[in-house]
Amino acid sequence: MNALLPLSALIDRINDRIGQLIRWFVLAAVLISALNAIVRKTFNISSNAFLEVQWYLFAGVFMLGAGYAFLRNVHVRIDFISSKLSKRTNAIIDSLGIVVFLIPLCLILITLSWPFFVNAWNSGEMSQNAGGLIRWPAYLLIPVGFSILLAQGISELIKRIAFLQGAIPEPFSVEQHKSDEELLAEELAAEAEKHERELAAAQGAAGATSNNNTQGR
């Protein structure tokens, strides 16, 4: 399994780059959406092409970002159960889930969605909306997105098996071992602790001032 760790690291780097890229998709979708709203309200003009661009961008974010979410360990999980289990138990459960559910699901959806893309490419299928866009880019997102998720699933499986064998200290990327919720909770706890220290310092300073005034009298 150690021999496969470089492959896992390569997949992780690729998905990290994809994650950086799709951030621009979000920005582009927001700007286009705002522009559409302004033009529609100001000039009473609407464009199906620009509306469908928004849909394509949002579809790209969700389809291409699934592997990135898996890499960052921010996918949906039952935290109140997994948090009570050991890392080893969670790694075993994750490995079984990847092998039994994730990999077969990705393979099935890639197989089923590819013909839709090929047919749309060959026929030049267009949107049924007037002035709409060509459809094959939207269809292509499905097999590409699940291929990316499949690759990340293989990477995560490699890391979890390597962890179970004692080859690596964590069953996932070390920098991604905490979810966004856990990081937020730690940030809030740190802020609360800082506030308590400041309050204690202020109370101490007020007490010292009071003592000085008493002694002065």
Confidence of residue 45 (pLDDT cuts 50, 70, 90): confident
C-alpha distance across the termini of the chain, in Å: 78
Q: What span, in angstroms and rounded, lies between the C-alpha atoms of 32 and 26?
A: 10
Contact residues for 169 (Cβ-Cβ < 8 A; gap 6+): 163
Is the pLDDT assigned to residue 184 strictly greater than 70?
Answer: no
User: How confident is the model at residue 176, as a pLDDT?
Assistant: 46
> Residue 9 and residue 18: Cα distance in Å, rounded?
14
142 neighbors 109 (Cβ within 8 angstroms): yes
Please tell me what DSSP assigns to residue 132: -
More confident residue, 190 or 143: 143
pLDDT at 56 over 80: yes
The candidate with the shortest Cα–Cα distance to 170, out of 181, 158, 182, is 158
Residue 205 pLDDT exceeds 80: no
Q: Are 81 and 93 in contact (CB under 8 A)?
A: no
pTM of the model: 0.74
Q: Where are the beta strands (DSSP E) in 17-173?
A: none
Q: What is the mean pLDDT of residues 63-73?
A: 91
Calpha distance 119→117 (Å, rounded): 6
Percent of the chain with pLDDT over 70: 83
Sketch the domain layout of the chain as residue ranges.
Answer: 2-177, 179-217
